[in-house]
């Protein structure tokens, strides 16, 4: 629990003083408890909730000024290089990294739930072949609640835990199938002899005709790191959406579907897709210098550089850059668009204009390049983000349901018409 600091903020309202208690977390700024303002007949006003702590959490901490991202206290770069994605999942869910026995048991649980009910596959036939994969994911993930009635009691700890495992295990299957459906290829079923990342890539790219398909270990490692680096990011828009939906008592599949919907927005999960669209617009390496000059003149936006939260550098980007270099070297790709991206990176890291403004390449820039190099189409980028973030969403949902909580009910500053009567 947060600790009272003994300090109070004093608010002057209509000649009266309201004392507001101040609380401290283990890291980050102190928070002012403003709930007593309501008794005075006032609301607080904070568009975008930029200065509002809507919950108490022990899962993830971000210090944007210092470029810090911690999951349960562990720095993200250490998790991405010294642990795999499922270990990070275990950490987010349980608060500690697993020992060898716990890891073996957890991995087995996930593997045992990778299959989905056969009738789920029929849901895909209801979508047009040119449907966006995120549209498919929103519908199919939400529909899972129709198949797992034996785990929908949100008051039951065991139900909550098995649902978390089911989601982490099944989302890769549904994500890969959403891709296969849009390209008209048969679904590939999960293989439990493969690692989490290998299994996803196998379901994405294997075909019945290619029984000897082997996943490149460099690409599997890169995908695992992408999953880890996107696993959670504190109280962002989609996580807050999951918590808000969860506060109504909605079933967890509906809550995760709501999170996927929020992530779909280009200002949130679509950033790495926007990077590739920007590269398409630039066209060729010869146009990069002029494009960057347009950025300086604020005529165009530079996607994949800088971050809304991280004012210094994105701590995930260093690991992602290293992974990007490994992938490009392993594949030996001679793609003009990737050369264009590397020229953008070179200029941004050396031009004083970008250096002084700390417009460094962020995780979206490098992840977009990696996913393109692997052969994943841009419309699947946000789906992969949703796949990775599922563990973060369900961890926050579990945390919320492990103690008392209130239904979310933000207020408003009403600026419409006052009461009026119909006159005829």
Residue bearing tokens 């549209």 = 135
> Considering 113, 307, 314, 396, which one is annotated as catalytic?
307
Examine the residue annotation and report whether 230 is marked as an active-site residue of this protein. no
List the 3-13 sheet strands across, edge first.
Answer: 3-13, 16-24, 31-32
Tokens of residue 314, six digits: 């994105």
> Considering 364, 396, 401, 421, which one is annotated as catalytic?
364
Q: How far apart are CA 403 and CA 420, in angstroms?
A: 44
Examine the residue annotation and report whether 307 is marked as an active-site residue of this protein. yes
Q: Residues with catalytic annotation?
A: 307, 364
């Amino acid at each position: 629990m947060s600790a009272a600091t003994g300090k109070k903020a004093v608010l002057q309202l209509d000649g009266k003083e309201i004392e507001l208690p101040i609380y401290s977390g283990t890291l980050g700024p102190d928070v002012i408890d403003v709930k007593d303002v309501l008794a005075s007949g006032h609301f607080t006003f904070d568009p975008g909730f930029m200065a509002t702590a809507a919950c108490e959490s022990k899962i993830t901490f971000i210090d944007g000024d210092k470029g810090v991202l911690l999951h349960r206290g562990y720095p993200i770069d250490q998790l991405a290089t010294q642990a795999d994605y499922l270990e990070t999942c275990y950490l987010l869910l349980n608060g500690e990294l697993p020992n060898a026995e716990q890891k073996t048991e957890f991995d087995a649980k996930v593997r045992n739930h990778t299959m989905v009910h056969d009738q789920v596959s029929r849901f895909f036939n209801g979508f047009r072949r040119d449907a966006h994969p995120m549209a498919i994911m929103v519908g199919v993930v939400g529909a899972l609640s129709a198949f797992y009635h034996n785990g929908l009691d949100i008051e039951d700890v065991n139900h909550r835990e098995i649902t978390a495992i089911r989601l982490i295990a099944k989302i890769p299957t549904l994500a890969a199938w959403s891709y296969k459906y849009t390209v008209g290829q048969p679904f590939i079923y999960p293989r439990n002899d493969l690692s989490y990342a290998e299994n996803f890539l196998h379901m994405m790219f294997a075909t019945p005709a290619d029984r000897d398909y082997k996943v490149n270990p460099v690409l599997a490692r890169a995908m695992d790191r992408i999953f880890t680096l996107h696993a959670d990011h504190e109280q962002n828009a989609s996580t807050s959406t999951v918590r808000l939906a969860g506060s109504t008592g909605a079933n967890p599949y509906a809550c995760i579907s709501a999170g996927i919907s929020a992530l779909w927005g280009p200002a949130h999960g679509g950033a790495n897709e926007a990077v590739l669209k920007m590269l398409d617009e630039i066209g060729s390496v010869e146009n990069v210098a002029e494009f960057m000059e347009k950025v300086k003149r604020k005529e165009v936006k530079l996607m994949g550089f800088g971050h809304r939260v991280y004012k210094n550098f994105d701590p995930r980007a260093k690991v992602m850059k290293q992974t990007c270099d490994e992938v490009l070297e392993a594949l030996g790709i001679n793609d003009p668009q990737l050369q264009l991206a590397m020229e953008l990176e070179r200029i941004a890291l050396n031009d004083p204009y970008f250096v002084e403004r700390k417009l460094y390449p962020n995780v979206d820039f490098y992840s977009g390049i990696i996913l393109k190099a692997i052969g994943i189409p841009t419309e699947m980028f946000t789906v992969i983000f949703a796949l990775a973030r599922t563990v973060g969403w369900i961890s926050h949902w579990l945390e919320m349901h492990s103690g008392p909580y209130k239904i979310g009910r933000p207020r408003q500053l009403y600026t419409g018409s006052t009461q009026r009567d119909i006159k005829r």
